[in-house]
Amino acid sequence: MEKNITPDSVISALMNHAMTSDSDFPIHVFPAKMQRIILELNTTCGFPIDYTASAMLAAISVAIGNTHRVEVKRSWQESAIVYIAIVGRPGDCKSHPLTFVMRPLVNADWKNNQEISCQRVQSQACLSYAECSRDWRSTQFQKKHCEYQQAVAMSRKERISAGLEEFPKEPKRLRYLVSDVTQEGLSAIHSHNPRGLCLWVDELSAWFKNFTRYNTGSEEQFWLSAFNGSTTMSDRKNSQNSIFIKRPFISVVGTIQKRLLTELANGERAANGFIDRILFAMTKSNGKPRWNEDEVRDNLDCEWERILNRLLSVECVVNEEKEPMPTVMRFTADAKRRLYEWQHENATLCDNEKSDNVVSFFCKLEIYVLRFCLILRIVRWAVSDGELRPSDIEDEDVAGAIELAEYFRGNALSVLTCISEEKLNELHRAVYEHLTEEFSTADGIRIAERFRMKDHSFKVSHRRSTCWKFVA
């Protein structure tokens, strides 16, 4: 008797064949179609599960943009904004999974600025970048911009005689992704794209290192505010006009080498909450994947592109002032009950934690768990066959969001520990290496005295360090 092939059986087989069992990422919170893509990329290309899955969170985030928000209480709504850092050693295959996941958005940006003759594009079929390149006839945006420049060069009388607009409007690029951009430039692009944007930086260190390239820190403050979706205003140089964005939506995703993590905590970033806003995707595997003969299915990238395209097909409704009017989603009674139970447990962890840095991140998890609820509910709708709009947040969505939050909690503790260890000087390191996993303050002081460290210095050090575990 033949066995029926089901999505669950395929995923189970892929899990058994997966190249790594060192991933803690709860991919089961995703729909089966997404799980299969993640696992196939792992088995055929060696893409770490954590990297691909986390990159998908960022891509889904920007695809949702300002179309939907989740409401916890009246006057408290959250969007799907995420800041994600893919962490690994050099050669850990960080960039390739991110490039694969973001390719549909790259294609969407490209198609938005092209006049395609190919009928397959008009039917929203999946095309590779190379296929699009062969089919394009002329660049729509460039054509419109050329016409705009010609109209501007004409006199007002000439424009009227030619049947053109009396006051030409400069054409705007529609896009989802930005890369190396200033705060002012980002605000200008966002003003033309109210749905939202994603800052995609292959090396995140280049992002935060450039915060002070033109000023002394206002750009860092901008990103702190952007995480909360707070209203932003930008004054252009030599202009009396300001760019006012009431509902900004800017997600961030990129890669960073493990040895550069300490730079994230330099300056005020360790104290102003900047690092606490970042979700860290890490893999426990220390081995480099080996190449094999397994081949990627022809339509694997198309499957992923179809999921994102359905999200992108949802219109971002705007009012007369061109401000987005997102659909507000609310929690069912059971979902809210589970959410509140988790928040109470998280609050207890915060009460009992002695490290301010750890507490700060735990507090941000309460924001992220809401955003994960929204992402999971919307993406479950995107892979369904029904045409109905997404329903309210359900208990299943909250359960999955909590698992995601706990995954990123563990990674944050690992990152904070890594940063703390790197910041220890030689004396502190010598004391640290002689400490047991758990120790009393008195035992720690006795060990510190052996290395001529004063008891006051030891107490201050172990209070600030997240990597020293002690029993008072």
Pairwise CA distance, residues 375 & 381, whole Å: 10
**Which residues, other chains included, contact 380 with Cβ-Cβ below 8 Å and sequence gap of 6+?**
31, 390, 397
CA-based torsion, 354, 284, 223, 29: positive or negative: negative
User: If DSSP codes are grouped into helix, strand and coil, which group holds residue 92?
Assistant: coil
**Six token digits for residue 452:** 């001529």
Pairwise CA distance, residues 129 & 123, whole Å: 16
Read off the pTM.
Answer: 0.78
Q: Where are the beta strands (DSSP E) in 177-273?
A: 177-178, 197-203, 232-235, 242-245, 250-257
Q: Which amino acid is it at 416?
A: L
**Which residues, other chains included, contact 182 with Cβ-Cβ below 8 Å and sequence gap of 6+?**
214, 219
Residue-level pLDDT at 132? 40
**Can you give the residue ranges of every domain in the chain?**
7-112+175-330, 114-172, 427-464
Task: Kindly give the confidence (pLDDT) of every residue in the chain, 472 residues in length, as a single tens digit, with 9 standing for 90 and above.
Answer: 444 545 555 555 555 555 445 789 999 999 999 999 999 999 999 999 999 999 999 999 999 999 999 999 988 999 999 999 999 988 888 999 999 999 999 999 888 766 433 333 344 445 443 444 333 333 455 566 566 667 667 777 777 777 777 666 665 678 999 988 888 888 889 988 999 999 999 889 888 877 766 655 578 888 999 999 887 776 655 544 567 788 899 999 999 998 888 887 776 666 677 899 999 999 987 777 777 888 888 899 999 999 999 999 999 998 888 889 999 999 999 999 999 999 999 999 999 998 888 999 999 999 999 999 999 999 999 998 776 677 899 999 999 999 999 999 999 999 988 887 666 666 666 776 777 767 777 777 777 777 776 666 666 565 545 444 444 4
Pairwise CA distance, residues 33 & 37, whole Å: 7
**Which residues, other chains included, contact 159 with Cβ-Cβ below 8 Å and sequence gap of 6+?**
151, 165, 166, 168
